[in-house]
Amino acid sequence: MPTKGRLIRDAIAKMEEAITKLEAAKTQLRYARNRHNVELEAKIADLREIYDILTDPECTPEIEEVE
């Protein structure tokens, strides 16, 4: 059974992938001059904030668990 720390690390890895893909989409929307770009930028900023919290050992000490 995965530990809480392992689950969080797996979620962090998936968030990294998602943020990378969303930033690529943001670039394409910017070049297309699409109004949804602003909304996407705000959502990416929210995800980055969550990501920063999850990767901060002070906020999420479980990420440093040794399996």
Residue-wise pLDDT for 2-47, tens only, equals 888 899 999 999 999 999 999 998 888 888 888 888 888 889 999 9
Write the pLDDT tens digit of every residue in 43-54: 999 999 999 999
Whether pTM exceeds 0.85:
no
- Give one word for 30, left, alpha or beta, with left for phi > 0 and alpha for psi -120 to 50: alpha
d(CA 8, CA 53): 11
What are the sequence ranges of the domains in the chain? 4-58
d(CA 6, CA 63): 7
Q: Report which residue type is found at 59.
A: C
Judged against a pLDDT cut of 60, whether residue 66 lies above it is answered with no
Structure tokens that stand for 30 in this block: 């910017």
